[in-house]
Amino acid sequence: MMMTNNQSSSIFLKSKEEAMPHILIWLGRTYVEKPGSMLLKKDVHAAYSAFCAEHRFETTTNAAFGKMFKRVFPSAEVRRLVKHNETTFFYENMTSQSASGNAPLPSSSSPGNGNGSPRPASESTPVREQRPRLEGSTHSPKRRRATAKEKGRLGSGDTNKRRSVKSEEEEEEDGTEAELARYDQKGFGREERTAVRPERASAAVSVPVGEPQLASWTSDAQLGFTDTLHRFCQLYRHEIWGFFPINPSMVEYPTLSYIFNTDHGTAERSALSVAAHYVVSMGYLLLGDVTHGREFFWKAREHLSYVFDSSNYDVACLLKHMSWAAMLFSGTGSEGHERETYYLSLCKNICQMLGVCRTRLATINSLLGLQFTSI
């Protein structure tokens, strides 16, 4: 049976999660803050819709898009203008940066960097005073009170018109909160069985591990690293998960974004944070970047020290998969075999405590037997 054009074209639409990093980058390149200027909100959303149509992205609601705009431009404020009983919303002190808003997407997050890692900032690199907040926010910005002049403008219209405008704003804000709450809370949270020890957790850092600790963590570098995380999620799911399966919820983009782009995520010490660093390490290795792969693996090993003695099956799976990487990154062969044996022994202990199937224990015992014979 022949498919219609609409059915065949919908197959190639990318989801909202996949489109999120590209839309944030496009907003930063298309619009710029400029005092004294104004940018109609409907024109921005129309350009966003055209951009998504050109690149085959699934569009989101008007309210959710407004939240994404605020992430890139936190100081942008929405104002309302009532003239001749017609209401118009616009962004204050914002303007379009170039006429070509629908420029093609870059092949990588940073020009001249094949692995998509953020570009180090230099003295000649322009740095914004305020970086975009990539972490999800489920709280609305405070609305300022209307001035007497604005109240006078609203007074010129009838009572029903004022009520409809207020209802429209409340409905738009409620829709935004629900949309972002679904996006930000998907796959997040600590496991109930894993105890997080705040006294041993290090302080939150603004720059991800493996990247240069610069004084200016530029918005371009942060957006580039976000795009890199999205690529590594896809690489692990499609190329690595069949050989080293872990909890599928730990290989989703919102999970990695929570760990690396939020203050609570960077302070997390659980199986979730171990898996996030392990996934990034494997992604760098798959791209041939051994240096960054090693750095993220040692960070995963550091997080593992907080949860290796817990009765969590996710931790057991990570111990089994990280055993060969521990041998790979060791200085000598004997040291590598000792680390691999240690990781497998810890995995076996957790499996015995949980009472997992005998097939899994037999597999681990066979791996341990191979290690003892090789040593």
Question: pLDDT for 177-218, tens place per residue?
Answer: 444 444 343 333 333 333 333 333 333 334 454 444 433 445
Given a cut of 50, whether residue 227 has pLDDT beyond it is yes
Residue 173, H or E segment? helix 159-184
In this structure, the number of other CB atoms found within 10 A of the CB of residue 364 comes to 22
What are 33's strand-pairing partners? 94
Residues sharing a CB contact under 8 Å with residue 281, sequence separation 6 or more, in sequence order: 292, 293, 294, 295, 296, 297, 300, 325
Q: Residue 167: left (phi > 0), alpha (psi -120 to 50), or beta?
A: alpha
Over residues 222-251, the mean pLDDT reads 74
Over residues 267-294, the mean pLDDT reads 86
List the one residue out of 91, 79, 77, 73 whose CA is nearest residue 129: 73
CB-CB contact of 90 with 98 (8 Å): no
Task: Report the predicted TM-score, pTM, of the whole model to 2 decimal places.
Answer: 0.41
Over residues 63-72, the mean pLDDT reads 82
Rounded distance between C-alpha atoms, residue 283 and residue 292, angstroms: 10
Rounded distance between C-alpha atoms, residue 13 and residue 1, angstroms: 22
Q: What are the phi and psi torsion angles at 216 (to 5°)?
A: -120, 105
Report the SS3 class of residue 214. Answer: coil
pLDDT at 141: 41
Rounded distance between C-alpha atoms, residue 174 and residue 170, angstroms: 6
pLDDT at 46: 86
CB-CB contact of 322 with 343 (8 Å): yes
Given a cut of 80, whether residue 306 has pLDDT beyond it is yes
Rounded distance between C-alpha atoms, residue 229 and residue 232, angstroms: 5
Over residues 57-81, the mean pLDDT reads 81
pLDDT at 3: 45
Confidence of residue 98 (pLDDT cuts 50, 70, 90): low
Q: What amino acid is encoded at 174 in this protein?
A: D
Confidence of residue 262 (pLDDT cuts 50, 70, 90): confident
Whole-number mean pLDDT of the chain?
66
Report the SS3 class of residue 81. Answer: strand
Work out the angle between the directed axes of helices 16-30 and 41-55 (0-180°, nearest 10): 130
In terms of C-beta density within 10 A (0-12 exposed, 13-18 middle, 19 or more buried), how is residue 233 classed?
buried
In terms of C-beta density within 10 A (0-12 exposed, 13-18 middle, 19 or more buried), how is residue 32 classed?
middle
In the block, tokens 């935004």 appear at 176
pLDDT at 365: 53
In the block, tokens 């679904």 appear at 182
Confidence of residue 224 (pLDDT cuts 50, 70, 90): low
Confidence of residue 345 (pLDDT cuts 50, 70, 90): confident
pLDDT at 223: 58
pLDDT at 221: 56
CB-CB contact of 134 with 261 (8 Å): yes
pLDDT at 304: 86
Over residues 89-98, the mean pLDDT reads 82
More confident residue, 360 or 322: 322
Over residues 51-68, the mean pLDDT reads 81
Given a cut of 50, whether residue 308 has pLDDT beyond it is yes
CB-CB contact of 214 with 207 (8 Å): yes
In terms of C-beta density within 10 A (0-12 exposed, 13-18 middle, 19 or more buried), how is residue 26 classed?
buried
User: Long-range contacts for 177-183 (Cβ within 8 Å, ≥24 apart)?
Assistant: 177/138, 177/140, 179/60, 179/61, 179/63, 179/64, 179/67, 180/64, 180/67, 180/136, 180/137, 180/138, 181/136, 181/138, 183/16, 183/17, 183/20, 183/64, 183/136, 183/254
